[in-house]
Amino acid sequence: MSRPIRATIDLAALRHNFGVARRRVGAGRLWAVVKANAYGHGLERAVAALADLADGFALIETERAIALRQAGLDAPILMLEGFYAAAELPEFIRHRLIPVLHRPDQVRDLLAAGWPADLPVYLKIDSGMHRLGFDAAGLRQAFHALAGRAPAVLMTHFADADGPRGVDWQLERFASMTAGMEAPRSLANSAALLRYSNVADRIGDWARPGIMLYGGSPYPDQTGAAALDLRPVMTLESEILAVQEIAAGESVGYGCSFTAERPLRIGVVACGYADGYPRHAPTGTPALVAGLRTRTLGRVSMDKLCVDLSGLPAKVGAGGTVTLWGRAGDAVLAADEVATAAGTISYELFCALAPRVPVQEIR
Ligand SMILES: Cc1ncc(COP(=O)(O)O)c(C=O)c1O
């Protein structure tokens, strides 16, 4: 018998969530963002599941993009961080990878490499996030240098589409930086797509949703995934290895960080931070045991964590199923809830799923 932990990837839920994005994008097109191994869900399986739905796939890992091409994927592929060195350009051309350019020297390298005139190029504009992107002068130069040499798409990324500043301040800068440039625009991430559904000015011609496809809310503090009609794609579940009955005054786990105020029944679960469960999840982080909601107790260790069985039926014991996030029958524990309790976001939980956790798919 292998260790009982497993992740389940629900590909029907992935397709459902993509449908939510489709309904929100209006006349625009959709890149499915599948970087970071499809946010931990498995690149190849996510691409296969969305192949007939997505207008293209966006990622950053060059080798993985090439592998998708070698496996027969014909759909457009957008490389969100572009190429890292000019030496990669022949591969970009051979495999028709669309680069996001963000520096003037990249435009020079690309033109010097004999870029095909029908392969688009994205120009990333720094409209206020101050990560990657051209400033106004650099953009103008790049746009003119590419005229007639490659179709350009004007792109920016929102810093606070999920927060109080919204997107309009960036869109104003974007509009003034791109004034007079006739080209399609790529703007919205999940937050913008959901918040500004079908508002073409804020979404652009090519939206780039990521987290919503995997069933995470981009703003769980305001609206949970279920209310956005998003279904969990990843379920992480394991089993109870042992049951402990502890007396009031006894502590649980490393650091004795939790001390029982009354007698408690505790389940020791085969899941820890080496599986990708967040170590910072405090006592009280929600979990489902046999589909019933309870809480974690004490510190998460490398291979184990503890849950409170006290309020649950007495038959729930060793071998009982514990859902760390995702679906348990009709019950759902949103990864967002676990993430919020642990002071992080569902993106990080999904991406952190450890290679040692076996993955099974359901369709
Ligand atoms: C450039 C770019 N576009 C789109 C996305 C997708 O964002 P989200 O997962 O919030 O939808 C990301 C993710 O970080 C990104 O870096």
Question: 312-348: per-residue pLDDT in tens?
Answer: 999 999 999 999 999 999 999 999 999 999 999 999 9
Q: Are 56 and 62 in contact (CB under 8 A)?
A: no
User: 11-220, what's its fold?
Assistant: TIM Barrel (3.20.20)
CB-hemisphere CA count at 13 Å for 300?
Answer: 22
Expressed in angstroms and rounded, the spacing between residue 277 Cα and the centre of ligand 1 is 23
pLDDT of residue 198: 85
Q: What local confidence, expressed as pLDDT, does residue 348 receive?
A: 98
Judge whether 74 and 52 are in contact, CB under 8 Å: no
Q: Is the pLDDT of residue 234 over 90?
A: yes
Cα–Cα distance measured from residue 283 to residue 281, given in angstroms and rounded to the nearest whole number: 7
Residues 6+ apart with CB under 8 A from 105: none
Ligand 1: centre distance to CA 162 (Å): 12
Listed in sequence order, the DSSP H helices in the chain are 11-24, 35-39, 43-50, 62-70, 89-94, 104-112, 136-146, 168-177, 190-195, 200-203, 335-341, 346-351
Q: Is the pLDDT of residue 94 over 90?
A: yes
Distance from residue 258's CA to the centre of ligand 1 (Å)? 37
Q: Residue 273 catalytic?
A: no
Q: How confident is the model at residue 238 (pLDDT cuts 50, 70, 90)?
A: very high
The per-residue pLDDT for 313 is: 94
In terms of pLDDT, which residue wins out, 198 or 320?
Answer: 320
Q: What's the 259 CA to ligand 1 centre distance in angstroms?
A: 41
Q: Are 335 and 216 in contact (CB under 8 A)?
A: yes
pTM assigned to the model: 0.97
The ligand 1 atom at the shortest distance from the C-alpha of residue 212 is: 11
Output the six-digit token pair for 56. 């293209």
Atom of ligand 1 nearest to the CA of 155: 1
Using the atom order of ligand 1, give the atom closest to the CA of residue 209. 11
Interval 26-52 mean pLDDT: 98
Q: Which amino acid would we find at residue 314?
A: A
CA distances from 200 to 24, 26, 34, 188, 203 (A): 10, 7, 23, 10, 5
Pairwise CA distance, residues 154 & 299, whole Å: 47
Judge whether residue 1 has pLDDT over 90: no
The whole-number pLDDT of residue 188 equals: 97
Q: What is the pLDDT of residue 323?
A: 98
Alpha helices by DSSP H, listed for 132-220, are 136-146, 168-177, 190-195, 200-203
**Residue with the nearest Cα to atom 9 of ligand 1?**
210
Mean pLDDT of 192-204: 92
Distance between CA 45 and CA 41 in Å, rounded? Answer: 8
Ligand 1 pocket, mutate which of 20, 80, 336, 346 (most atoms under 8 A from CB)? 80
Nearest atom in ligand 1 to the alpha carbon of residue 33 is 6
| Maximum distance among all Cα pairs of the chain, rounded to whole angstroms | 77
Residue-wise burial string across 284-295, b where 16 or more C-beta atoms lie within 10 A, e elsewhere: ebbbbbbebebb
Q: What is the mean pLDDT of residues 86-115?
A: 97
Active-site hit among 84, 219, 254, 277: 254
Please state, in angstroms and rounded to a whole number, the distance separating the CA atoms of residues 45 and 73.
12
Mean pLDDT of 239-247: 97
DSSP letter, residue 74: -
| pLDDT (average), residues 177-206 | 95
Rounded distance, CA 163 to CA 218, Å? Answer: 10
Is 182 a residue whose pLDDT tops 90?
yes
Domains 11-220 and 234-362 share a fold: no
- Please name every residue paired with 240 in a beta bridge, in sequence order, or none if there are none: 269
Which CATH number, 2.40.37.10, 1.20.1070.10, 3.30.379.10, 2.60.40.1930, labels domain 234-362? Answer: 2.40.37.10
In one letter, which amino acid is 70?
Q
Contact 145, 111 (CB under 8 A): yes
Query: Is 35 annotated in the active site?
Result: yes
In angstroms, what is the span from residue 197 Cα to ligand 1's centroid?
17
Q: What atom in ligand 1 is closest to the CA of residue 80? A: 1
How many angstroms is it from 194 CA to the middle of ligand 1?
A: 13
pLDDT at 261: 97
| Joined tokens for residue 223 | 């609206």
In whole angstroms, give the CA distance from residue 108 to residue 120.
Answer: 15
pLDDT value of position 27 = 93
State the Cα–Cα distance between residues 88 and 73, nearest whole angstrom. 20
Give the model's pLDDT for residue 199: 87
How far apart, in whole angstroms, are the C-alpha atoms of residue 288 and residue 267? 12
Which residues line the pocket of ligand 1, CB cutoff 6 A? 33, 80, 157, 189-191, 208-211, 218
- Residue spans of beta strands (DSSP E) within 197-304: 206-207, 234-246, 251-252, 258-259, 264-269, 286-289, 292-297
Q: Which of 208, 212, 348 to mutate to test the pocket of ligand 1 (most atoms within 8 A of CB)?
A: 208
Residue nearest to atom 8 of ligand 1 (CA): 210
Say yes or no to pLDDT of 357 above 80: yes
Which residue has its alpha carbon closest to ligand 1 atom 13? 210
Domain ranges for the chain, please list them. Answer: 11-220, 234-362
Contact 341, 221 (CB under 8 A): no
